[in-house]
Chain A
Amino acid sequence: MVVTVRSQTVRRCVTESGYGPGMTKMILISAALAAICWTGCKKGGSEVTLNASGSSFQRQFQEVAIQGFTKTTPGVKINYSPGGSGKGRQDFADKVTDYGCMDGLYKEADLANVKGGPFLYFPILLGAITVSYHVEGVDKLQLSAETIAKIFQRDIKKWNDPAIAADNPDAKLPDADIVVAHRSDGSGTTEQFTKYLDAAASGVWKLKSGSTVQWSADTQAGQGNGGVAQIIKSMKNAIGYVDLPDAKAAGLAYATVKNQAGKFIEPSSASASAAGEGIDVQDNLTYVSVNAKGDAAYPITAPTWCVAYAKQTDKAKGTALKAYFKYMLTDAQARIKDINFAPLPKSLADKAVAQLDKIQVP
Chain B
Amino acid sequence: MQLSELHGHKQYADRAFRGLALGAAGLVLLVLGLIAVKMTQRAWPAFGLGFFTSTQWSAPDGLFGALPFLWGTLYTAAIALVLAVPVSLGVALFITQVAPPWLKKPMVYLLDLLAVVPSVVFGLWGVLVLSQHFGLGRSFLTAGVILAIMIIPIIASLAREVIETTPVADKEAALALGATRWEMIRASVLPHSKGGIVGAVMLGLGRAMGETIAAALVIGSALGQITLNAFAPGNSMPAVIANEWGEAREPHRAALIALAVTLFVITIAVNLIATTIVQHSMKRSHGT
- The answer on A and B forming one complex is yes
Measuring CB to CB, which residues of chain A are less than 8 angstroms from any residue of chain B? 1-4, 56, 83-87, 104, 107, 109-110, 184-188, 190-191, 194, 207-215, 217, 219-221, 223
- B220's closest neighbor in chain A, by CB? A221
8 examples of A-B residue contacts, CB within 8 angstroms = A1-B203, A3-B112, A87-B246, A107-B249, A186-B245, A211-B248, A214-B59, A217-B223
Contact A86 B59 (CB under 8 A): no
Point out the residues of chain B lying under 8 angstroms from A221, CB to CB. 220-222, 233
Contact B60 A188 (CB under 8 A): no
Of the candidates A1, A110, A212, the one whose C-beta lies within 8 Å of that of B247 is A212
- B242's closest neighbor in chain A, by CB? A185
Q: Which 5 A-B pairs have the closest CB atoms?
A: A84-B246, A186-B247, A184-B221, A211-B247, A208-B60
Of the candidates B56, B59, B115, B224, the one whose C-beta lies within 8 Å of that of A212 is B59
Interface centre among B216, B221, B245 (most CB of A within 10 A): B221
Q: CA–CA, A239 to B252, complex, Å?
A: 27
Q: Which of B44-75 contact A (CB under 8 A)?
A: 56-61, 63
Closest-CB distance, B239 to chain A (whole angstroms)? 8
Closest-CB distance, A195 to chain B (whole angstroms)? 10
Contact B60 A207 (CB under 8 A): yes
Q: CA–CA, A220 to B221, complex, Å?
A: 8
Point out the residues of chain B lying under 8 angstroms from A211, CB to CB. 59, 244, 247-249, 252
Point out the residues of chain B lying under 8 angstroms from A4, CB to CB. 161
Contact B247 A213 (CB under 8 A): no
Closest-CB distance, A106 to chain B (whole angstroms)? 9
Q: Is B84 an interface residue (CB 8 A)?
A: no
Contact B58 A208 (CB under 8 A): yes
Point out the residues of chain B lying under 8 angstroms from A2, CB to CB. 112, 115, 154, 157-158, 161, 203
Of the candidates B58, B63, B221, B247, the one whose C-beta lies within 8 Å of that of A86 is B247
Q: CA–CA, A194 to B59, complex, Å?
A: 12
Contact A214 B244 (CB under 8 A): no
Chain A interface, DSSP helix/strand/loop, else mixed: loop
Closest-CB distance, B223 to chain A (whole angstroms)? 6
- A53's closest neighbor in chain B, by CB? B246
Closest-CB distance, A233 to chain B (whole angstroms)? 12
- A188's closest neighbor in chain B, by CB? B247
* A110/B250 contact (C-beta < 8 A), A210-B60, A212-B244 known: yes
Contact B247 A191 (CB under 8 A): yes
Closest-CB distance, B288 to chain A (whole angstroms)? 19
Point out the residues of chain B lying under 8 angstroms from A1, CB to CB. 203
Point out the residues of chain A lying under 8 angstroms from B250, CB to CB. 107, 109-110
Q: CA–CA, A109 to B250, complex, Å?
A: 9
Contact B225 A217 (CB under 8 A): yes
* A85/B247 contact (C-beta < 8 A), A214-B223, A215-B223, A223-B217 known: yes
Point out the residues of chain B lying under 8 angstroms from A217, CB to CB. 222-225
Contact B244 A185 (CB under 8 A): yes
Known: A186-B245, A212-B248, A221-B220. 15 other contacts (CB 8 A): A2-B112, A3-B112, A86-B253, A110-B249, A184-B216, A184-B243, A186-B252, A191-B247, A194-B60, A207-B58, A211-B59, A212-B252, A217-B224, A220-B233, A223-B217
Point out the residues of chain A lying under 8 angstroms from B216, CB to CB. 184, 223
Point out the residues of chain A lying under 8 angstroms from B221, CB to CB. 184, 221, 223
Contact A214 B58 (CB under 8 A): yes
Q: CA–CA, A215 to B216, complex, Å?
A: 17
Q: CA–CA, A188 to B249, complex, Å?
A: 11
Q: CA–CA, A240 to B154, complex, Å?
A: 41
Q: Which of B151-174 contact A (CB under 8 A)?
A: 154, 157-158, 161
